[in-house]
Amino acid sequence: MSEEQILLAHGGGGRLSQRLIAEEILSRFGSGPLATLPDAASLQLSGRNVCFTTDGFVVQPLFFPGGCIGDLAVHGTVNDLAVSGARPRWLSLAMILEEGLPVMTLRRVLDAIRLAADHADVAVVTGDTKVVKRGQCDGIYITTSGIGAALPGFSLSIAQIQPGDKVLVSGCLGDHGAAILAAREGFPAEHSPKSDSRPLHRLVEGMAELAAGVRFMRDPTRGGLATILNEMTAGQRFGMRIRARDLPFSPAASALAEMMGLDLLHVASEGCLVLVCAASVADGILDIWHTLPEGRDAREVGIVTGEHGGRVILESAIAGERVVDVPSGELLPRIC
């Protein structure tokens, strides 16, 4: 045990990540709001429900088709608040810079942060900058934390999910991870998938009137849709059935996945919302989402069932049924 080392897969969002978090984090800090590992902690302040979240960003390359580490850092934290049913308000910005980083690169990243924050209607209100020697960082690492005010009407928890509920996704799956992979493999930008990095809070605020029917939301980042759906079903009496024919994928991501033998169910999105809701509000939510650019490709992709509790089943017209599992290793290091 004493010779155990941290592996890249400990950061990949798969089984090893989950084990590290369970054994090392939950064992020490799991008695409070961290217990259920929400995307954002729900805190009581002066009788008001406040959400608080943090994310580190180490993406490589720093600039990729559809975005850069700067806007990604804003969107990641904004989205963790949004899927927690909160309106994002304030961000902190902590940067670790590598000696020798061109100041122009820093400027481009900061410009992207500024633009993304303005677009998402959040303010960067506090920050910190550290510099380390060449070879002790890889250009720039960013940690953003965010505070949001809980939106009235949402009461989100996995415990509310019931058989008969619908599973919706707000857009194409896996575009972010596919864009990073394409950039690393040297694909020309014009043939590459574009990252879907974008804020999701308008999708959440837009459906406020249907909030009572929303059971749970997450954004499928590290580990992709497969990981998120397994997190929702793990240890539960219910299961989920997902229909392969209804899953939205962009043509560029599909082509790349085909070429490289990639399962897009395991690939990260950074601008996609996965939502479980009462069947009665599913069409209403999709109608609202379809009016927003970020919800244009929204679909109902599956259903919660009372059968095969704890498991996610993919129905495919060609291949029949298969269990959708959590990736066990590291698929793509440093995608966010």
> How many C-beta atoms surround the C-beta of residue 287 within 10 A?
13
Is the bond leading into 333 cis (omega within 30 degrees of zero)? Answer: no
Handedness of CA 242, 245, 249, 253 (dihedral sign): positive
Residue among 97 and 274 whose Cβ is closer to a second copy: 97
Which residues have a Cβ under 8 Å from the Cβ of 234 and sit 6 or more positions away?
310
- Nearer Cβ to a second copy, position 40 or 304? 40
Q: Is 291 exposed, middle or buried (0-12, 13-18, 19+ CB in 10 A)?
A: exposed
Task: Count how many residues are written for the chain.
Answer: 336
Tokens 């996995």 locate to 158
Query: Residue 57 or 238: which CB sits closer to a second copy?
Result: 57
Closer CB to a second copy, 28 or 245, in the complex: 28
Rounded to an integer, what distance in angstroms lies between the CA atom of residue 294 and that of residue 314? 25
Which residue, chain included where needed, has tokens 């799991």? 30
CB of 18 to a second copy, least distance (A): 11
Count of C-beta atoms within a 10 Å radius of residue 333: 12
Taking the complex as a whole, the smallest distance from the CB of residue 321 to a second copy amounts, in Å, to 34
Side-chain-side CA neighbours of residue 227 (13 Å): 27
Q: How many CB atoms lie within 10 A of CB 136?
A: 10
Nearest to a second copy of 1, 319 (CB atom)? 1
Residue with token string 């993919």: 314
Nearest approach in angstroms of CB 317 to a second copy is: 38
Instruction: Please provide the distance, in angstroms rounded to a whole number, between the alpha carbons at the two ends of the chain.
Output: 29
Give dist(CA 106, CA 16) in Å, integer.
33
Q: Nearest approach, Cβ of 215 to a second copy (angstroms)?
A: 21
Q: How far is the CB of 90 from a second copy (least distance, A)?
A: 6
Q: Shortest distance, CB of residue 224 to a second copy, whole angstroms? A: 17
Shortest separation between residue 184's beta carbon and a second copy, angstroms: 13
Minimum distance from residue 9 beta carbon to a second copy (Å): 8
Q: Helix 103-119 vs helix 69-82: angle between axes, to the nearest 10 degrees?
A: 30
Q: Cβ 122 to a second copy, closest distance in Å? A: 11
Pick between residue 52 and residue 289 the one whose CB is nearest to a second copy.
Answer: 52
DSSP 8-state symbol, 23? I
Which residue, 254, 84, 247, is CA-closest to 158?
A: 84
Of residues 123 and 259, the one with the C-beta less far from a second copy: 123
Nearest partner of 274 among 178, 199, 187, 167, judged by Cα: 167
Q: Which is nearer to a second copy, 222 or 299 (CB)?
A: 222
Among residues 156 and 242, whose Cβ is nearest to a second copy?
156
